[in-house]
């Protein structure tokens, strides 16, 4: 239930605190910016009882039940394609006739255009005082295009009426005027000689018509590779052969029938280089029923503005999409991926927005609707990728997910999203959702957003109904911050699905077959008033960045009042017109532009003092301008690597006449994504100097960060370089529990004596993003979490409760093994990457059930509703990659120990280091660990009447060579790994080739359990073994885990884990009070390598 009240925030918290004692209340949330609260209850009966009680509470203005709303995307909702096509045919002819005749005379009068009236212009075709032509003063210019064949040849017209494809530079005769045809996809091409291109019945192409005729019309078909194919009225497709001849004889599309249609901007246009731009008819179309985006971009793209935050209240945003990720809003008070609600707003790690459907800080889109909306608003412009949004740069897209994967959501969650938008500084919200049911709580929330100066763009609805009679909410609310938007199609007609209303819908915008971004880095066409509304959001953002001093109501008046009247919207909308970005910017031009200072600061300095990774703190110092006569203040901004202005850092710094000014940052902050440097600018009441101005002082951001933990253990596998004074071999490193704050590990020669500076750097071991399983969220305390022998984790959540949520973050590769799993179908789910589990797992697979975890970060998200709870689940997470094997050398020996330190960039964690002893194998030592046999294999052993005969094969280590291994020896051992008996069989080393040894024992000792193999040389035997279990003794069983003396080991170099957890994977001949680890038998690999 949404409860609105007008008391102070403290009183609200007290009031809601009392409601928490009411039976059936599950959760409450105060929305202080809107003066409201949301109360979640366990049943409809509890809801009705509480609503009835609150009706009599004098402190409560209204208390209403929650409702449901849905997306207003027409795709997938049974679009009547045939009816739509018929309507195009019925209406397009009349529209094209009007279009072909130019703008009707009545529309050339300034009185017919709000943009002209706002400047008090009168008469016919009056220019603005700035010299910029207004739409009422403009005439329609036909599209100029060039056609390029698949071979790269360009189509060229000749004055004699021929059309050819030529190679080389494009002459002036290769430019054609694109004239709209009589059907929706029809066009005609007019040559520079004022002739029309035509096809005859034989498929021959001519350029000799003086006036349009049926034979001059071609139908455009867009191919998936962004090329076009052109069909004649006789059914043939235009093609070019190897000689350059142009014809239209083929009925199918091959490479020869594919052309690149290059649109050429006019003098008053600026085109984007994004490959999908030519298919974004809503931005620019030869039919001219578009928002005149290129004409607007000629004036302003937002690239040098202060920026603006637009909240997309929808199904979320794919914040990894390459055409969106640089435009995302970043919460400056939230530290990413630390599992903490840093800003105390109730959401953990809400870096780019929040998820109100799941109550998390992750607004990732699982439906595609919100991502599509976001791309229309602010897809990155002119980056040569995908599509372009209305606002090229400067918009900060805030993802506020309240709609689920089915496109449905609660009104209360929409209200919570609106509260978040207001609280975090959004100026525009895009709302492509709604329903037939009105909610007084939602109406109040929008009214209070209006009071906060937030514009609310709303989709009018897709039922094709008249909203004056059959309302769609929230678009129908009569609130002065709402802009209700209908949809038009490319031929200028009102979309067949679009709602309309002469007194309830403000304007129309492109909404049919709109190309935009979708999750996964892709692009797709969607239709609906959902696609029309974000065009309005984008234009509003563009206007507001162009004139930042405007109020919300002024921006709304400009957007609504600057439409281009079109016949199909007359009587169907309040304005009778189509959204027009160029008109809107021209209308905003009437307001005085900023007059920023003539000089800027001389220099800026900043040094990070915050130890957190990805967070900054400290003091910014600015050297003031020499002349501050027109300077009121200074401000510091983040700047991207490409030089684009991002968010401001802190507040402004008043100009006081002092030479040096400081901005002290009282709390840590996270920079926006892609921020690479800081820039200082000067400003006054009218505006600020652009960050791209000459001599603007800039300083690169250098993150001073310390790793949160160091390595947990080391093992030196022995020197394989037998030259005296040189060292080479493998270092095994047990990584930090989390490498989120580690870029690498520095390996130094340790100081020879205490309190001495350590020696030179030997090597660097790269971090790989390893993360031990870490649980965050309110339900983690309910889980039973235990450590497994291999360092993995076991998670148990039996008989779980309602409204649980938790996220377990780990890293792959590895596996997750389920031994129990039974949850409520659909509603209580465990999401692992892109796979979601629910229900009784044993009904579909055999338990235990193993899933592979891919390399890289892995999230395991658990969420339940408030209804049915079942027996729950138990699973184990096993990771590989915990141990890093790093080869060092050959290097000169400068000591007897290595010291290893975790580092983040050039900063080291010096209070959490590890040491390991290293010995120079100068030719006088037994074989090192790394030279131990790789495996010991049975080649046909026979055990009979207490005797053992046959042969075994030794697979040498890749590190073994004639210099440090002369022979291999096989012995008998008991179940603890202790060598017993008199048998000792040797065979010379064979380099890297396997070695076979014959075994013959007449009487086996009673307690024999294994054969063990070691490497040796003239200085003795190595201290690591390969094991082979005798089948009559152990069968498939391996020996007990680990080896040691049962006491804590004081030598950090021996405790590889660094945590005494009995998981070390090595064998030393002097430490065998316990049995050797079974990993050696299973993997056939001695030492820590078995963990891999």
753-757, 870-874, 983-987, 1045-1049: the lowest-pLDDT one: 1045-1049
Which spans in 498-580 are helix H?
529-546, 552-561
DSSP β-bridge partners for residue 955 = 935
Contact 467, 460 (CB under 8 A): yes
Q: Give the Cα separation of 588 and 590 in Å (integer).
A: 5
| Distance, CA of 968 to chain centre | 55
Q: What pLDDT does 262 receive? A: 82
In this prediction, residues 605-623 reach a mean pLDDT of: 89
Contact 597, 683 (CB under 8 A): yes
User: pLDDT of 213-245, one tens digit each?
Assistant: 889 999 988 787 768 899 999 999 999 998 889
pLDDT bucket at 755, cuts 50 / 70 / 90: low
* Intra-chain end-to-end CA distance of the chain, in Å: 54
Residue with tokens 């991502």: 371
Question: Which pTM value belongs to this model?
Answer: 0.59
> If we measure between CA atoms, which residue out of 429, 434, 322 comes closest to residue 385?
322
Q: Which of 55-64, 871-880, 952-961, 1006-1015: highest mean pLDDT?
A: 871-880
Q: Give the Cα separation of 567 and 768 in Å (integer).
A: 62
In this prediction, residues 154-160 reach a mean pLDDT of: 87
User: What DSSP string runs through 783-844?
Assistant: SEEEE-TTS-EEEEEES--SS-EEEEEEEEEEEEEEEEEE--TTTSEEEETTEEE-SBGGGT
> If we measure between CA atoms, which residue out of 573, 569, 570, 542 comes closest to residue 558?
542
> If we measure between CA atoms, which residue out of 643, 600, 644, 638 comes closest to residue 622?
600
| Phi and psi at residue 832, to the nearest 5° | -120, 105
* Conformation bin of residue 158: beta by default, left when phi > 0, alpha when psi is -120 to 50: beta
DSSP β-bridge partners for residue 677 = 639, 700
* Conformation bin of residue 90: beta by default, left when phi > 0, alpha when psi is -120 to 50: alpha
189-193, 1032-1036, 1077-1081: the lowest-pLDDT one: 1077-1081
Give catalytic residue positions: 314, 369, 530
Q: What pLDDT does 1082 receive? A: 25
356, 819, 1019 from 800: Cα distances, Å: 22, 16, 62
User: pLDDT of 923-935, one tens digit each?
Assistant: 778 888 778 898 9
| Distance, CA of 333 to chain centre | 19
Q: Give the Cα separation of 455 and 481 in Å (integer).
A: 5
Q: Is the pLDDT of residue 123 over 90?
A: no
Q: Is the pLDDT of residue 889 over 70?
A: yes
Q: What pLDDT does 769 receive? A: 93
Average pLDDT over all residues of the chain: 83
pLDDT bucket at 963, cuts 50 / 70 / 90: low
Helix, coil or strand: residue 615: coil
Report which of residues 1021 and 1092 the model is more confident about: 1021
Q: Is the pLDDT of residue 361 over 90?
A: yes
> If we measure between CA atoms, which residue out of 55, 50, 59 comes closest to residue 23?
50
Q: How many CA atoms lie within 13 A of 823 on its CB side?
A: 24
549-558, 625-634, 810-819, 1056-1065: the lowest-pLDDT one: 1056-1065
Q: What pLDDT does 297 receive? A: 93
78-92, 494-508, 1003-1017: the lowest-pLDDT one: 78-92
* Conformation bin of residue 1039: beta by default, left when phi > 0, alpha when psi is -120 to 50: beta
Report angle CA 603, 608, 611 to the nearest 5 degrees.
180
pLDDT bucket at 1085, cuts 50 / 70 / 90: very low
Q: What pLDDT does 898 receive? A: 95
> Which residues, including other chains, have CB under 8 Å from residue 105's CB and lie 6 or more apart?
none
The DSSP H or E segment spanning 242 is none
User: pLDDT of 239-264, one tens digit each?
Assistant: 999 888 999 999 999 989 999 888 78
Q: Which long-range contacts (CB under 8 A, 24 or more apart) does 980-986 make?
A: 980/1005, 980/1007, 980/1008, 981/1005, 981/1008, 986/1016
How are strands ordered across the β-sheet holding 577-578? Answer: 353-355, 395-401, 308-314, 428-431, 455-459, 482-488, 507-510, 577-578, 564-565
pLDDT bucket at 111, cuts 50 / 70 / 90: low
Q: How many CA atoms lie within 13 A of 76 on its CB side?
A: 11
Q: What pLDDT does 1086 receive? A: 29
Question: Burial level of 191, CB count in 10 A (0-12/13-18/19+)?
Answer: buried
Q: Is the pLDDT of residue 680 over 90?
A: yes
76, 430, 523, 551 from 451: Cα distances, Å: 37, 17, 37, 11
Q: Is the pLDDT of residue 75 over 50?
A: no
709, 786, 791, 1050 from 1054: Cα distances, Å: 19, 24, 17, 8
> If we measure between CA atoms, which residue out of 441, 537, 549 comes closest to residue 481?
537
Which spans in 946-1004 are helix H?
none
Q: Give the Cα separation of 1059 and 257 in Å (integer).
A: 69
In this prediction, residues 269-294 reach a mean pLDDT of: 90
User: pLDDT of 978-1035, one tens digit each?
Assistant: 898 777 899 999 888 899 999 988 888 888 889 999 998 888 888 888 989 886 543 3
Q: What pLDDT does 8 receive? A: 63
């Amino acid at each position: 239930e949404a409860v609105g009240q007008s008391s102070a925030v403290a009183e609200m918290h007290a009031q809601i605190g009392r409601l928490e004692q009411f039976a059936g209340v599950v959760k409450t949330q105060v929305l202080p910016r809107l003066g409201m609260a949301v109360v979640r209850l366990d049943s409809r009966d509890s809801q009705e009882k509480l609503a009835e009680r609150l009706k009599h509470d004098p402190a409560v203005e209204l208390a209403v039940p929650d409702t449901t709303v849905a997306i207003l995307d027409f795709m997938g909702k049974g679009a009547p394609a045939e009816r739509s096509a018929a309507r195009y045919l019925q209406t397009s002819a009349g529209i094209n006739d009007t279009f072909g005749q130019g703008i009707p005379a009545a529309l050339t009068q300034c009185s017919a255009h709000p943009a002209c009236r706002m400047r008090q212009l009168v008469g016919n075709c009056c220019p603005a005082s700035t010299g910029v032509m207004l739409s009422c003063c403009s005439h329609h210019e036909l599209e100029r295009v060039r056609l390029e064949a698949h071979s790269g040849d360009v189509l060229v017209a000749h004055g004699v009426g021929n059309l050819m494809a030529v190679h080389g530079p494009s002459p002036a005769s290769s430019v054609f005027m694109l004239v709209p045809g009589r059907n929706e996809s029809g066009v005609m091409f007019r040559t520079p000689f004022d002739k029309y291109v035509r096809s005859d019945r034989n498929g021959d192409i001519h350029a000799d018509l003086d006036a349009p005729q049926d034979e001059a019309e071609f139908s455009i078909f867009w191919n998936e590779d962004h090329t076009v194919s052109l069909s004649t009225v006789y059914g043939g497709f235009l093609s070019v052969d190897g000689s350059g001849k142009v014809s239209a004889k083929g009925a199918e599309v091959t490479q020869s029938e594919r052309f690149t249609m290059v649109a050429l901007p006019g003098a008053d246009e600026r085109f984007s280089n994004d490959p999908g731009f030519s298919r974004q008819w809503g931005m620019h179309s030869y039919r001219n029923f578009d928002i005149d985006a290129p004409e607007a971009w000629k004036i302003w793209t937002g690239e040098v503005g202060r920026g603006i935050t637009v909240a997309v209240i929808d199904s979320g945003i794919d914040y990894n999409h390459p055409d969106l990720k640089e435009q995302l809003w970043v919460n400056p008070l939230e530290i990413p991926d630390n599992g903490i609600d840093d800003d105390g707003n109730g959401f953990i790690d809400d870096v780019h927005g929040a998820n109100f459907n799941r109550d998390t800080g992750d607004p990732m889109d699982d439906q595609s609707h919100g991502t599509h909306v976001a791309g229309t608003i602010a897809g990155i412009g002119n980056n040569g990728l995908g599509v372009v949004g209305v606002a090229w740069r400067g918009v900060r897209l805030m993802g506020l997910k309240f709609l689920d994967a089915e496109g449905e959501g609660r009104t209360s969650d929409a209200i919570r999203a609106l509260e978040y938008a207001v609280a975090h500084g959004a100026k525009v919200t895009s709302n492509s959702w709604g329903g037939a049911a009105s909610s007084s709580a939602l109406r109040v929330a929008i009214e209070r957003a209006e009071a906060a100066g937030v514009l609310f763009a709303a989709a009018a609805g897709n039922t094709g109904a008249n909203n004056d009679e059959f309302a769609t909410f929230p678009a129908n609310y009569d609130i002065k911050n709402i802009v209700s938007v209908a949809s038009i199609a490319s031929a200028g007609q009102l979309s067949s699905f679009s709602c309309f209303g002469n007194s309830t819908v403000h304007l129309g915008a492109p909404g049919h077959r709109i190309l935009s971004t979708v999750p996964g880095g892709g692009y797709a066409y969607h239709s609906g008033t959902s696609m029309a509304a974000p065009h309005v959001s984008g234009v509003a953002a563009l206007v507001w960045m162009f004139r930042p001093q405007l109020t919300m109501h002024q921006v709304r008046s400009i957007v609504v009042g600057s439409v281009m009247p079109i016949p199909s919207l007359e009587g169907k909308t309040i304005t009778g017109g189509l959204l027009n970005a160029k008109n809107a910017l021209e209308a905003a031009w009437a307001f005085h532009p900023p007059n920023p200072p003539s000089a800027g600061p001389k220099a800026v300095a900043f040094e990070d003092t915050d130890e957190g990774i990805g967070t900054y703190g400290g003091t910014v110092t600015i050297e003031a301008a020499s002349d501050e006569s027109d300077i009121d203040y200074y401000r510091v901004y983040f700047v991207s690597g490409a030089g684009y202005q991002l968010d401001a850092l802190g507040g402004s710094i008043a100009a006081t006449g002092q030479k040096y000014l400081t901005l002290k940052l009282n709390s840590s902050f996270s920079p926006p994504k892609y921020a690479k440097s800081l820039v200082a600018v000067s400003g006054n009441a009218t505006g600020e100097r652009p960050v791209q101005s000459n001599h603007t002082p800039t300083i690169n951001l250098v993150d001073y960060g310390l790793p949160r933990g160091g390595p947990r253990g080391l093992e030196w596998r022995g020197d394989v370089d037998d030259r005296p004074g040189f060292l080479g071999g493998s270092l095994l490193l047990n990584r930090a529990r989390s490498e989120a704050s580690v870029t690498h590990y520095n390996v130094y020669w340790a100081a020879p004596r205490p309190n001495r500076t350590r020696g030179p750097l030997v090597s660097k071991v790269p971090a790989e993003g390893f993360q031990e399983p870490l649980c965050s969220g309110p339900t983690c305390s309910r889980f039973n979490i235990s450590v497994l022998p291999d360092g993995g984790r076991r998670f148990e959540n039996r008989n779980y409760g309602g409204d649980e949520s938790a996220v377990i973050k780990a890293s792959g590769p590895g596996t997750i093994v389920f031994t129990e799993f039974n949850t409520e179908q659909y509603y209580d789910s465990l999401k692992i990457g892109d796979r979601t589990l629910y229900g009784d797992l044993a009904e579909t697979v055999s338990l235990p059930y193993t899933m592979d975890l891919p390399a890289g970060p892995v999230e395991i998200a658990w969420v339940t509703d408030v209804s049915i709870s079942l027996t729950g689940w138990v699973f184990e997470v096993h990771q590989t990659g915990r141990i890093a094997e790093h080869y060092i050398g050959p290097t000169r020996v400068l000591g007897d120990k290595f010291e290893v330190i975790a580092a983040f960039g050039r900063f080291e964690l010096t209070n959490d280091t590890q040491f390991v002893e290293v010995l120079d194998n100068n030719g006088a030592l037994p074989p090192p660990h790394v030279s131990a046999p790789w495996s010991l294999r049975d080649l046909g052993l026979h055990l009979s009447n207490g005797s053992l005969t046959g042969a075994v094969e030794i697979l040498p280590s890749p590190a073994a060579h004639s210099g440090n291994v002369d022979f291999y020896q096989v012995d008998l051992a008991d179940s603890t790994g202790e060598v017993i008996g008199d048998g000792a069989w040797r065979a010379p080393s064979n380099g890297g080739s396997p070695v076979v040894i014959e075994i013959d024992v007449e009487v086996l000792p009673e307690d024999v359990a294994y054969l063990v193999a070691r490497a040796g040389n003239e200085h003795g035997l190595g201290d690591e073994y390969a094991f082979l279990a005798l089948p009559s003794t152990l069968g498939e069983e391996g020996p007990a885990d680990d080896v040691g003396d049962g006491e804590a080991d004081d030598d950090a170099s021996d405790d590889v884990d660094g945590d005494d957890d009995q998981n070390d994977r090595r064998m030393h001949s002097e430490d065998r009070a316990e049995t050797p680890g079974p990993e050696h038998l299973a993997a056939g690999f001695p030492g820590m390598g078995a963990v891999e």
